[in-house]
Amino acid sequence: MQFLLRAAAVLSFSVGGLASVQHQSASPTVRIQNGTVIGKHVASYNQDLFLGIPFAQAPIGDLRFEAPQPVNETWSAPLNATVYGAHCINYLLGLPMDPADLATRYPQSEDCLTINAVRPAGIKRNARLPVLAYIYGGGFQEGGSGDARYNASALVEASVRIGQPSIVVTMNYRLQGWGFLAGNEVRNHGLLNLGIQDQRLALQWIQDNIEAFGGDRRRVTIQGESAGAASVGFHLLANGGRDDGLFNAAICQSGGPYYFGSFTSDAQSEKTYRSVLKASNCTDAHDTLQCLRAAPFDILNSAFSSLSFLPVIDGTLVPEYTSVAISKGRFVKVPLLIGTNTDEGKVFAGKGVNTTEELAGYIEQQPYIRTTNNETVQDLLEAYPEPGSNSTSGQSDDTLPLSATYGAQFLRTARYTGDVMFIAGRRYTCEIWAQLGLPCYSYRFNTIPADTDPLYLGATHFEDVAFVFNNVLGQGMPSNAFDVQPATREESYKQLGDLMSRMWMSFAATHSPNHHQVKSFQTDWPTYNLKTPQNMVLDGNITSFVENDNWRAEALKLIIERSLDFSR
């Protein structure tokens, strides 16, 4: 996910390790640049899994707070790649599906830079299969490639079903203070946004090694949700949009090249850095970074738990305000599949907003638009009337009972929050892609999973993930999104999961989601165009359909215009 809320510390810590084992004839084996890798065969899916392969040297000791370094050795014995590597250090967020047991279910370690590849069984080295590289979300605070919510097996299975067998790759990257420490000293050494640098090295690892697994390094699609989608966006915009040949298509779910967060100022980054130095007794050190590298883990973990660390503008991987980069066309020109959920803002919206005056105060406190002049606030209030349409369905807010806890204008607040964080940026990105004649497929996810309050959460942020990964068993989830009643509705949900996973793999293989091979679904997903902009509405309650992407037009246009002004 997903949620840029205050994080709590995860105190669980374990040292990850990778052992060598003797080769077993039944085990799939590949030889990559660093040596032989032995995976495992999963008969139930007829797939080969290669898990926990280090793509970088362990970022510990003198490599803590350093740019990721490629593995520089040849293994003397085959590498056992049958279990996921440890997650990078996590700091839990207030998710709607609370992962409070992440620390106990998934081991964590500073030594965490590993990558995984899942493929159909028996693929030969020269098969040249398409590759989908997934980057997990989590607000740059939590997550990991071993999270069962991102089980790649269903996606690989979907690729086989559509006649486009593919390889799915997932990776770890450093989070929070470990991956996004900033400040003058960090900037001077070119060490900002280490988490994004980790992802970049993982993408290079794919270029160097994926052919050993039967993949095609020239057919790599990068995909992510929330912070993962923002990461995909950063790779699209990196180095002024220079194409380094790391990917040739992109999928962004609830995020993208138009960053949904705010960039911390240099002054605030330095203030936070000084707080870390103080907590670590490194303030007076001659080399403060080296002092932090030697600091005890527990000290840094405690310091990070009370501070915020997010991507910053660094002049390279995040070269400038993303809104400006997009408007100037400074991004890698590749096909794009991008979308948002109907009720994105409900999980982020502030509670207790009861009046227009209180909403004005809420807008002024948000970092997304410059609101130093009252005109902007008044324009936004007029663009988001009360009552209004809670979503594109047209249902009026005044027919919906709201609890005092949430506030009389919760739906109005959520509508604005979702638009300013995600939906306006999605539409603007589609418009820019269309202006340049680039293939772009836009969607709106409109399905409410099981055990989700339709009024206060609805089809909110992250709820699409279970369907994209076709997670019908609810793996890693506190509740199964597909476990709805009656049985006919459950079946339609399963059909949607099957359809979406196929569409995603179709796009990864062919750059079009329309080769999904579901004969019962004949609606063509159109490319986005400026004359008649359209979304595919992915709905598990009714047959998915195409809609005109013209709702809340003036409101979304206002957000983009004022955001562009804010970034200059």
Q: Measure the CA–CA gap between 74 and 335, rounded to whole angstroms.
A: 37
Residues annotated as part of the active site: 226, 344, 461
- CA 421 vs. chain centroid, Å, equals 14
Spatial separation of the C-alpha atoms in residues 222 and 170, rounded to whole Å: 10
DSSP for 79-142, please give it: EE--SPPPBPP-EE---SS--TTHHHHS-B-S---EEEEEEETT--TT--EEEEEEE--STTTS
Give yes or no for a contact between 323 and 258, defined as CB atoms under 8 angstroms apart. Answer: yes
Amino acid at 524: D
Cβ-defined contacts of 371-374 (< 8 Å, 24+):
none
Please name the residue that has the structure tokens 């339709």: 454
Letter for the amino acid at 543?
T
Which of 478, 489, 488, 520 lies closest to 502 in space, CA to CA? 520
* 8 Å CB contact between 511 and 335: yes
Residue that the structure tokens 């398409």 belong to: 130
Q: Alpha-carbon distance 189 to 196, whole Å?
A: 16
Q: Are strands 167-171 and 114-120 parallel, antiparallel or unpaired?
A: antiparallel
546 secondary structure, DSSP code:
E
Q: Contact 54/97 with Cβ under 8 angstroms?
A: no
39 to 117, 165, 446: CA distances (angstroms): 9, 19, 38
Q: What does 161-224 look like in DSSP terms, one character per residue?
A: HTT---EEEEE----HHHHH--SHHHHHTT-S-HHHHHHHHHHHHHHHHGGGGTEEEEEEEEEE
235: closest CA among 190, 192, 191, 200?
A: 200
CA dihedral 312, 315, 321, 327 (to 10 degrees): -150
Residue 486 DSSP class: S
In the block, residue with structure tokens 């660094």? 314
Q: Are strands 336-341 and 249-253 parallel, antiparallel or unpaired?
A: parallel
Secondary structure element (H or E) that encloses residue 59, with its range: none
